Amino acid sequence: MRCSLHFTFCSLHFEFFILSMSSFFLAANSILPLFLIILLGFVMMRTEVVRPGWVDILNKYALWIGLPSLIFVALIRLDFKFSEYGSLIFLNSAYLICCILLAFPVSTVFKTSLQTRRTLFLLLGFGNISYLGIPLLSSALGPEALGPAILLSAVYPFWMFTFAIGLIEITGQEKVHILVILKRLVTNPLLISVFLGIVVSWLKIPVHGSLIKTLDLFGQSVTAVVLFSLGIFLGAQQIGTRKQWLPVLGLSLVILIVLPGILYFAAKGSGMSAVQFRSSVLDAAMPMGLTAYAMTEQYELNALLTGRLVILSTALSAIILPFWIVFTS
């Protein structure tokens, strides 16, 4: 009798393991095309088929044309109600504020330099939400995830360009430039497209079909463009020594596993829908983004650490993100 129970117990565990692995491979397969595009950009950069200058051109196309078109069209098709998305916006805002402030105890415990502390304001919360997050959520969770993905692509840069950049300027030698921060907000194409999309959707303003079709064409092109650009960027980076990568590995695991795990348990029972909950956790688990890297260069922070974090966290995310997709389901 005891042997029979033990056999049944082992069989159930084996079936659960097979089911979990099957779900993992299904999740991995859903996002594999995205990482193949990144790999193509990486290989073409390493073989010198393309040049590093392509990154700036492709990113400007994505930032000023492709992503705003995608966001605007998706929002005017979305029946936006603040009551429906209020929990999503509030919870993710609170999460980002906590991640930014986490730089203070982390830098104190590890006795980092002031430059690294200021860099951590950007590293601990701001992943690749727009360039990788929007296509990945749409691919893994379906078209119903596009609404939450787009709103989160506005929440993240809002807190980056206000709270995080404000702390960087306050804790450094620079004077706090309020007008510069406000200018970055009001001229950010992603925030502008979100604002216009919500206004048009809320007021039921009609948009001509030809304009929608034109914007659709731009929006459909942007996924391959931004991922290919990311691959070129990764291929242009220097490798470095194994010792230099150890702190990068630890930081990668924090932003890919630990912080999203905290959000996962904090968001349980928050009132968000299932797709909003999964979108929030997956966006929190995104690898380091290029916008944060650009800000570290502009403010003369630890750009070398940030660049390596982009490389390693992106590589690890190909394995870790499918687990989050399965785990949140």
pLDDT tens-digit readout, 42-51: 999 999 999 9
Mean pLDDT of 104-133: 90
Residue 8 lies in a domain: no
Residue 287 lies in a domain: yes
Residue type, 307: G
| Count of domains for the chain | 1
pLDDT of residue 12: 45
1 vs 289: which has the higher pLDDT: 289
Mean pLDDT of 144-173: 86
Give the number of other Cβ atoms within 10 Å of residue 300's Cβ. Answer: 11
**Is residue 320 predicted with pLDDT exceeding 80?**
yes
CATH number reported for the structural domain that contains residue 257 in this entry? 1.20.1530.20
Residue 233 lies in a domain: yes
What angle do the packed helices 303-328 and 242-253 form, to 10 degrees?
40
The angle at the Cα of 149, spanning 148 to 155, to the nearest 5 degrees, equals 85
Whole-angstrom CA distances from 208 to 26, 65, 195, 214 are: 39, 18, 19, 10
0.85 exceeded by pTM: no
pLDDT band at 202 (very low <50, low <70, confident <90, very high): confident
Residue 131 lies in a domain: yes
Mean pLDDT of 75-90: 80
Residue type, 14: F
Distance, in Å, from the CA atom of 285 to the CA atom of 60, rounded to the nearest integer, reads 25
Mean pLDDT of 4-14: 51
pLDDT band at 204 (very low <50, low <70, confident <90, very high): confident
**Is residue 173 predicted with pLDDT exceeding 70?**
no
Residue 44 lies in a domain: no
Residue 142 lies in a domain: yes
pLDDT band at 134 (very low <50, low <70, confident <90, very high): confident
Q: Which domain holds residue 259?
A: 54-328
Residue 4 lies in a domain: no
Residue 82 lies in a domain: yes
- For the stretch 221-237, pLDDT in tens is 888 888 898 889 888 88
Whole-angstrom CA distances from 143 to 70, 86, 191, 225, 257 are: 13, 20, 21, 20, 25
The angle at the Cα of 58, spanning 56 to 60, to the nearest 5 degrees, equals 65
Q: Identify whether the C-beta of residue 231 lies closer than 8 Å to the C-beta of residue 39.
A: yes
Q: Name which of 122, 139, 128 is nearest 62 in CA terms.
A: 128
